[in-house]
Amino acid sequence: MYSIGVNFDLTYITAGIVDEKGNIIYKEAIPTLKYREPEAILKDLAALCLRIVEKNGLVIEDIKSVGIGCYGSVDTEKGIMIYSSYFKFKNVPIVSILQKYIHVPIKCENDANCYALAESKYGATKGYSNSIIVTLGTAISGGIIINNKIYSGKYYGAGEFGHHVIVFGGEQCECGRKGCWAAYASQKGLLRDAKIMAVRHPESMLFKMVNGDLRLMSFRTPFEAAQKGDKYAKEVVETYSKYVALGLINIVNILQPEAIAIGGRMRKIGDMFIDDVAKLVGEKTFGHLEVEKKTKIMLTKMDYDAVIIGATML
Ligand SMILES: [Zn+2]
């Protein structure tokens, strides 16, 4: 038997056929075209699922279940996408809509929660029954695993780590508040700070590497410039690591998981900052615990395909 897992993201909907060992045997993506009405998007999502079944010489009876990892908060009991900041989705009964087209059990869950679940079974946090995944990308999200299960909160809003405030009255966050962790430790926060530094110091490698065209700056630029010895880029990178660590310390002080793994787009260059972040978290966490009792800070082993695999585990 197989299951289908779907990563229902802002830009792409990716559906994969997953075997019983958690291997994706086939996957395919379509553009989400997020500004459309929910029904139109979900119809395409269902068609994609059915198409990949057929393409692989399977029939729907070979599929045990379909799991959807959604960008947004999800009422997992009722199968409702409650809210998504970038979609036109408000209390959309996605499971009952999809059930019109797909006649196998369907479950849905927040995408970061799916990520955390897959990672705890197959990835970096395997073996830890209490773990957390933090995804650092355009925004910051996360998933909490307690006793090997997703903790989603009473009203399914838990794990929104990006929106705890670390600077009172600080930078504007997408959520409407100021000073959220996401406004500093996301890829956006890093880029903002790197661009400010480049403008202030046109003599820096940060500025020269993009020939003064700040639009060309990527999240890799400050790290690459720092590696080449640019002192301004080093300052940007050090500050970024401190921001990442600051949020993680708060999480550890509140929840004390056994492990926190960092995923998301920043994971691609995670090797360049994870050691500094782990060191800071180890030093600053409350309690002066012995090393073996400290929360392990690491990078996730899986990429966004973990959402597909985690969705099949629902
Ligand atoms: Zn926020």
Q: What is the pLDDT of residue 15?
A: 98
pLDDT in tens, 222-249: 999 999 999 999 999 999 999 999 999 9
Residue 234's pLDDT is 97
SS3 142: strand
Residue 135 has pLDDT above 90, yes or no: yes
Class of domain 2-104 (CATH, top level): alpha beta
**Is 80 exceeded by the pLDDT of residue 298?**
yes
251 CA to centre of ligand 1 in angstroms: 16
- 85: pLDDT strictly greater than 90: no
User: 176 CA to middle of ligand 1, Å?
Assistant: 6
Ligand 1 centroid from CA 178, angstroms: 7
Any idea where the domains of the chain sit in the sequence?
A: 2-104, 126-300
Distance from the first to the final alpha carbon of the chain: 15
Superfamily of chain region 126-300 = ATPase, nucleotide binding domain (3.30.420.40)
> 175 CA to middle of ligand 1, Å?
4
Q: What is the Cα–Cα distance from 135 to 186, expressed in whole angstroms? A: 9
Q: What is the pLDDT of residue 287?
A: 86
Q: How far is CA 131 from CA 13, 66, 87, 203, in A?
A: 27, 25, 29, 44
Element (H or E) spanning 51, and its range?
A: helix 38-55
Do residues 276 and 227 lie in contact, with contact meaning Cβ atoms separated by under 8 Å? Answer: no
- 292 has a pLDDT exceeding 90: no
- How far is residue 120's CA from residue 258's CA, in Å, rounded to a whole number? 11
**CA 291 to centroid of ligand 1, rounded, Å:** 32
Average pLDDT over residues 208-222: 95
Q: CB-based contacts of 209: which residues, under 8 Å, 6+ apart?
A: 217, 221, 224, 225
Closest CA relative to residue 288, chosen from 257, 246, 253, 242: 253
Q: If you write DSSP's letter for every residue of 171-215 in order, what string do you get?
A: SB-TTS-BSBTHHHHSHHHHHHHHHHHHHH-TTSHHHHTTTT-GG
> According to the model, what pLDDT value does residue 91 have?
94
Domains 2-104 and 126-300 share a fold: yes
Ligand 1 centre distance from Cα of residue 126 (Å)? 30
Using an 8 Å Cβ cutoff, are 161 and 144 in contact? no
Rounded to whole angstroms, the Cα distance separating 263 from 280 reads: 18
Q: How far is the CA of 180 from the centre of ligand 1 (A)?
A: 5
Task: Kindly tell me if the per-residue pLDDT of 216 is higher than 90.
Answer: yes
Whether 204 has a pLDDT exceeding 80, the answer reads yes
Calculate how far, in angstroms, residue 183's C-alpha sits from the geometric centre of ligand 1. 7
Confidence of residue 103 (pLDDT cuts 50, 70, 90): very high
Q: How far is the CA of 139 from the centre of ligand 1 (A)?
A: 9
User: What's the token pair of residue 213?
Assistant: 């065209």
Å from CA of 22 to ligand 1 middle: 34
Residue 131 has pLDDT above 80, yes or no: yes
Q: What angle do CA 156, 15, 89 make, to 5 degrees?
A: 40
Question: Which strand ranges, in their side-by-side order, compose the sheet holding 90-92?
Answer: 73-75, 80-83, 90-92
The DSSP line for 4-18 is EEEEE-SSEEEEEEE
Question: Reading across the β-sheet that carries 131-136, which strands appear in turn?
Answer: 149-150, 140-146, 131-136, 259-263, 296-299
Angle at 313 between CA 311 and CA 314, to 5 degrees: 70
